[in-house]
Amino acid sequence: MPGTRFAPDRGLTTRMVSTMFLIGLLYVVFVGVLLALLRGAWPIILILAGSLFIAQFWFSDRIAAFGMGAHEVTPQQAPELHGAVDRLCALADMPKPRVAIADSDVPNAFATGRNQKNALVCATTGLLRRLEPEELEGVLAHELSHVAHRDVAVMTIASFLGVLAGIVTRVGLWGGFRQSGGRDSSAAILVVLIPLISAVVYAISYLLTRMLSRYRELSADRAAALLTGRPSALASALTKVTGQMARIPTRDLRKAEPFNAFYFAPAFSKEGMSRLLSSHPTLEQRLEQLGRISAQLGRA
């Protein structure tokens, strides 16, 4: 990436640009249709859409960190974690993000922030307790790659439309029915059309973000392995984290599941057709890629 020593990924850049274009187009169409159907509620729709977008873009890091129970820690409170982040940032030639720990037995890590200056990297207590130093560095390098490639910000914006589809529809229905009284034929049509449009918009935006999410995880694995020069350490961390998930109580995994798109590894793995809806590639795909990188580095 420009400004860092992480390996550039044109495939990721192309996919991010394409996803943002399609999401933007879908967003414009969605708001346009709502404005056409709910003429009386257009001020509410525009104000709400703009406010939500600004809030999610500027405060996404704080919202995600709060939702996942992350709290910032000083070098004195977490010297090993800060030391690993310091070494990787020096190796990658990038600004050091804020460092946080989430008090959870689920072994995982995540990064948030719209850019490198506002980034936060967090590891759970379960992850810190289970991984060796080299494995932890591999996971942290993976998360720092997300920050360097700016795909955290892209995922935040891309996921915005799905949230908006539900909220704006409810507000639009409320405003439209108040104006029409909820009794005439146009109101009856809105009852069918708006939930249908909302469902279609949500489904398309969901599939687009999931496809981008799976690729960006492979990209982050690749970038981390090349930066550290130890793909085997990252593979070991992946295997260990995924294996430990089966021992975590289901109630704890359910709490973590809504944030799967941010995490290093998903709380629940997908099988069969449901893999199309997964936020992460399979463990086999990730290990296969790391094996190829290891072989390439060995030949070099």
Q: Is residue 78 part of a domain?
A: yes
In contact, 88 and 76? CB cutoff 8 Å: no
Q: Give every strand in the sheet of 120-124, ordered side by side.
A: 70-72, 98-102, 120-124, 109-112
Active site residue 143: yes
Q: Is residue 4 part of a domain?
A: no
Find, among 278, 259, 21, 1, the residue nearest to 146 by Cα. 1
Give Cα separations from 131 to 87, 90, 147, 261, 296 (angstroms). 17, 22, 22, 21, 25
Q: What is the pLDDT of residue 66?
A: 80
pLDDT at residue 102 tops 70: yes
Q: Which long-range contacts (CB under 8 A, 24 or more apart) does 127-132 make?
A: 127/241, 127/264, 128/80, 128/81, 128/101, 130/240, 130/241, 130/244, 131/107, 131/237, 131/240, 131/241, 132/233, 132/236
Three-state DSSP state, 249 = coil
Find, among 161, 219, 186, 203, the residue nearest to 10 by Cα. 219
pLDDT class for 121, splitting at 50, 70, 90?
very high
Chain-centre distance of CA 128, in angstroms? 21
pTM: 0.82
Q: Is residue 51 part of a domain?
A: yes
Rounded CA separation 173/74 (Å): 48
pLDDT at residue 10 tops 60: yes
Could you list the residue range(s) of the whole structural domain that residue 219 is in? Answer: 10-267+274-295
Q: What is the pLDDT of residue 242?
A: 87
Contacts for 17 with CB less than 8 Å, ≥ 6 apart: none
Which of the residues 143, 257, 284, 288 is marked catalytic? Answer: 143
Q: Is residue 247 part of a domain?
A: yes
Q: Is residue 109 part of a domain?
A: yes
Q: Is residue 1 part of a domain?
A: no
Q: Is residue 47 part of a domain?
A: yes
Q: Is residue 2 part of a domain?
A: no
Q: Of all helices (H) and strands (E), which one includes residue 126?
A: helix 125-130
Q: What is the pLDDT of residue 273?
A: 45
- Which residue do the tokens 């967090």 mark? 122
Which residues make up each annotated binding site for Zn(2+)?
A: 142, 146, 217
Give Cα separations from 106 to 29, 234, 265 (angstroms). 40, 18, 10
Q: What is the pLDDT of residue 128?
A: 95
Number of domains in the chain: 1
Q: Cβ–Cβ contacts within 10 Å for residue 232, how many?
A: 16
Pairing between strand 109-112 and 120-124?
A: antiparallel
pLDDT digits (tens, 9 = 90+) for 138-168: 999 999 999 999 888 788 777 766 666 666 5
Report the pLDDT averaged over residues 72-97.
96
In contact, 100 and 65? CB cutoff 8 Å: yes
Find, among 143, 127, 166, the residue nearest to 61 by Cα. 143
Find, among 247, 239, 227, the residue nearest to 264 by Cα. 239
pLDDT digits (tens, 9 = 90+) for 245-279: 766 666 666 666 666 666 788 766 655 546 667 88
